[in-house]
Amino acid sequence: MTPAPSWGFHTVNTAARSLLAAAVLVSAGTAPAHATGSDDGRRAGDEGAASATVLRAALDVGLLNKTVDVPLTSTLNEVTTRDGGGTERRTALTARLDGVQGGEPFSVLRAQVADAEAGHDASKSWGAVTLADARVHVPGLPLLSVVELEKVTARVECAAGERPVAEANVLGSVRALGKRVTLTAGGPTVVTVPGVGEVRLELSRTDTTSRTAAATALELSVEVDPLDLGVAEVAGTLTVAEATCTAPPAPRDEPAPEAEEEPDPQTQTVPGEKRPAGPELAATGGDPATHYLVGGAAVLLAAGAATVFALRRRG
């Protein structure tokens, strides 16, 4: 018997290995792919903001019949939050002005409670102010309070996709230049004291838009010239308990899920129909053609193995 050429065995063996590799590649190539992402529907850098201030003073002090004019500004517990989110809070109880009273610091406000807080996160921004048992002074009247307040509050909240909220309240008694006053929402309350000056008080003002809110508990316009001596004439405004906010943008709507394709009527299983007996195959994540490709590769691989076996027996 003539021995089989050696090249036949190697050729068949190589073909068998190629078929096996092809079967593996077909199985691996049909694995489903999954896209990943972290987009929450917001634009980078487009965030909310908030602020809160217990007292803001903008005064013009004229000394010696206005031969010397000194603009003075001061804030107490002003907090602002913007990029990055978080919360800011301050609780100092005294506001001072420098440059008046012979160079000595002048106390504009003293209070038992003076709390300002502002913050924001991805869903909303907010600000709140509480001031209690407070006395406000201006230069030239160190012993007489321009205004005395029992309690005032201001609060704002701006949530994404919702209508902003703004509230401001003056609670308890109010005194201006030593006089007890009743504040009304219909207009300013004016208090005049001869030989001292005049104070105009605006009660609780709020404002909202589609994304912003602002609240001010009390605003005072002050004109003071003690005893009409022209030693220290003071004019300006005092804003008490102020808060503002801007809402972060609402997330964009998620796209509607795509409708699933209807199965081919030719491949549907009729209820009660018996399926041909046969081994169950595990799902591979590929399409139906995958099973035919893998099955074909297995048949070719088996045929190659049978040929190798036959050649060996002949040898």
Strand locations in the chain, DSSP E? 49-63, 68-76, 79-81, 86-90, 94-97, 106-110, 113-120, 124-136, 147-159, 165-176, 179-181, 189-193, 197-208, 212-224, 232-246
Residue 161 pLDDT class (50, 70, 90 cuts) = very high
- Which position has the higher pLDDT, 269 or 216? 216
Look at residue 130 in the predicted model and tell me its pLDDT: 98
CB 232 within 8 A of CB 63: yes
Residues 6+ apart with CB under 8 A from 23: 293, 294, 297, 298, 301
Q: Cα(51)–Cα(49) distance, rounded to whole angstroms?
A: 7
Q: Cα(309)–Cα(306) distance, rounded to whole angstroms?
A: 5
**pLDDT above 70 for 183:** yes
Longest C-alpha distance within the chain, in Å?
140
**pLDDT above 60 for 1:** no
- Partnered with residue 220 across adjacent β-strands are 201, 238
CB 238 within 8 A of CB 56: yes
Instruction: Locate the domains of the chain by residue range.
Output: 53-246
How high does pLDDT run on average in the chain?
A: 75
Q: Cα(30)–Cα(220) distance, rounded to whole angstroms?
A: 75
For 166-193, what is the mean pLDDT? 91
% of the chain surpassing 90 pLDDT: 42
Look at residue 284 in the predicted model and tell me its pLDDT: 47
User: What tokens appear for 247 in the block?
Assistant: 């809402």
Residue 3 dihedral angles phi and psi, to the nearest 5°? -65, 145
3-class secondary structure, 146: coil
- Which position has the higher pLDDT, 257 or 168? 168
For the question of whether the overall pTM of this predicted structure is more than 0.85, the answer is no
Look at residue 99 in the predicted model and tell me its pLDDT: 63
DSSP state of 95: E
pLDDT in tens, 292-315: 444 554 544 555 555 555 555 555
